[in-house]
Amino acid sequence: MVRQFGKQNTLISLICGLILVLALLVAIDARHPHFYMNGEQTLQAEQGQPFEDPGVYAVLSGRIFGDSDRRLPVETSGTVDTSIAGDYVLSYRTHFFFRDYVCRRTVEVRDRTAPVIVLFQRENYQVNWLDGYDEEGYRAEDNIDGDLTAQVRSEETADGIVYTVSDRAGNSTAVLRRPNYTVARPEIYLTGGSELYVKADFNFGDPGYLAVDRLGNDMTAYVLCDGKVIPYRTGTYELGYSITNAVGQTVRAVRTVTVEPQQIPGTIEPEEKTIYLTFDDGPGPDTERLLDVLDKYDVKATFFVTASQPRYFPMIARAFEAGHKIGVHTYSHDYNRIYESEEAFFEDFLRMQDVILRQTGSYTDILRFPGGSSNTVSSFSPGIMTRLTDEVRSLGYQYFDWNVLSGDAGETTHTSEVVQNVIEGIEGLPEGKAAVVLQHDSKRFSIDAVEKIIQWGLENGYTFRSLDRTSPPAHLAVVN
């Protein structure tokens, strides 16, 4: 009996030892549950689409013995609602040795699917750019937001019409429609280029343009031009060329035109004592007698002519053939009309140029402003003389005022006083300065003074010349 009891104690001791050894081994092995996830710890799910959890499994694992072959029971908690965007957490739990072990995974539910745009097409529809594209229709659907047709935006580009739409999640779709045009969007080509440089003149000739669509249709006739070049005024101008179709779409090209001044020769002061006799407001009844006097002494003078008395126009031709210089004064001598605007001035100027052309065979390159450049009769058009003096020189013309007054414009009607005024005026000039004398061949008493003025000048060593663009212009101070 005692021997049997002893055997039992030995067995119990052996079992306890084994348990102790096992406990020590477990402690040393650090045995614990280990989770293995199917898929990533953070998963992405599409909003509105079914989601299936790939799951996890757990086994015991340790440092010494590694993973066991037997899987532990795992409980899953948490839900994923793919109808609502957001981040969802799934928890996985197992139990071992009086403890719970948990791992978690995040599921990101997002709308990542872009909307779909469907373009409609009408059977046998012919597209003409001039009439404008008549929208054939479209529809936009999103898997979450539903019908987005009202949010579609369309834009015409060089390649066609681009339709775009975005859903609330920011997913965007773009679709291109290429209409089958019979007349397509044109291009405008500018002859001579988009930048022109021209010299100041009375006329500007646009070098032209061409409009062609990509199908080869000539659309030049539909081009409208805007902008204006004032060819006698230096500066840079912009001309626009455009075609606009029925729905307001516009094709446009732009040309800049820079008007540059003409070259005008520099002034040459004569070396000898010089008198320039100049006569305004003719030709008239006394112009022929004046020409006889000038011929008698072989003196050359300058005539700034008008159209006041057309029957005397032949005197312009005679003066020109005799070697005298012809310049423009004015066609009408109507200050209110001439100085109304620059356009009005040049209209008057060109009419007188046409008279000179018919009488001499050529235009002239000199002029004298009605009233002179210092006149105040033009003050009803503020600044016009400042602009005109610049513009005529930009056109290559020289204008002439005077530095010797005869007084025949209202100060006197006596020939002797005209002679005296001219002589005193010449003598009063600085030494070496050429005299530009103002007289009027429309005044008989003034014409009567010319011979005595010539005689005095010749006796005192003066040379008489006609004006040209290199002559001293005797410019007065412009006050308007």
Q: Across the chain, what does the average pLDDT equal?
A: 93
The stretch 71-91 carries a mean pLDDT of 95
Domain CATH for 175: 2.60.40
pLDDT above 80: residue 18: no
User: Are 146 and 287 within one domain?
Assistant: no
Is 475 inside any structural domain?
Answer: no
Is 268 inside any structural domain?
Answer: no
Q: How high is the pLDDT of residue 9?
A: 72
pLDDT above 80: residue 5: no
pTM of the model: 0.65
Domain boundary among 57, 80, 110: 110
Catalogue the E-assigned strands of 285-408: 302-306, 325-330, 366-367, 398-399, 404-405
Domain boundary among 260, 291, 307: 260
User: Are 121 and 106 within one domain?
Assistant: no
The stretch 30-46 carries a mean pLDDT of 92
User: Are 348 and 432 within one domain?
Assistant: yes
The stretch 318-329 carries a mean pLDDT of 98
Is 12 inside any structural domain?
Answer: no
Nearest to 43 by CA among 97, 131, 102, 104: 104
Q: How high is the pLDDT of residue 181?
A: 87
User: Are 241 and 278 within one domain?
Assistant: no
Q: How far apart are CA 152 and CA 275, in angstroms?
A: 84
Q: Measure Cα distances from 61 to 35, 99, 459 in Å.
A: 10, 15, 138
User: Are 176 and 278 within one domain?
Assistant: no
Is 36 inside any structural domain?
Answer: yes
Q: Are 102 and 74 in contact (CB under 8 A)?
A: no
Domain that holds residue 252: 187-260
> pLDDT tens across 118-165, in order?
999 998 898 999 998 899 999 999 999 999 999 999 998 878 899 999
Is 17 inside any structural domain?
Answer: no
User: Are 316 and 395 within one domain?
Assistant: yes
Q: Measure Cα distances from 116 to 36, 119, 149, 316, 349 in Å.
A: 39, 10, 10, 85, 71
Is 57 inside any structural domain?
Answer: yes
Nearest to 345 by CA among 233, 479, 466, 477: 233
Domain CATH for 236: 2.60.40.10
Is 470 inside any structural domain?
Answer: no
Most confident of 2-6, 62-66, 261-265, 463-467: 463-467
User: Are 91 and 198 within one domain?
Assistant: no
User: Are 254 and 330 within one domain?
Assistant: no
Domain count, the chain: 4
User: Are 235 and 372 within one domain?
Assistant: no
Sign of the C-alpha dihedral, residues 140, 146, 147, 153? negative
User: Are 309 and 222 within one domain?
Assistant: no
User: Are 234 and 289 within one domain?
Assistant: no
The stretch 270-278 carries a mean pLDDT of 95
Q: How far apart are CA 240 and CA 230, in angstroms?
A: 15
User: Are 219 and 176 within one domain?
Assistant: no
Query: For the chain, what is the radius of gyration of the CA atoms?
Result: 52
pLDDT band at 320 (very low <50, low <70, confident <90, very high): very high
The stretch 436-462 carries a mean pLDDT of 96
pLDDT band at 206 (very low <50, low <70, confident <90, very high): very high
Domain CATH for 292: 3.20.20.370
pLDDT above 80: residue 7: no
pLDDT above 60: residue 1: no
Q: How high is the pLDDT of residue 11?
A: 73
pLDDT above 80: residue 26: no
pLDDT band at 22 (very low <50, low <70, confident <90, very high): low
Is 9 inside any structural domain?
Answer: no
> pLDDT tens across 381-407, in order?
999 999 999 999 999 999 999 999 999
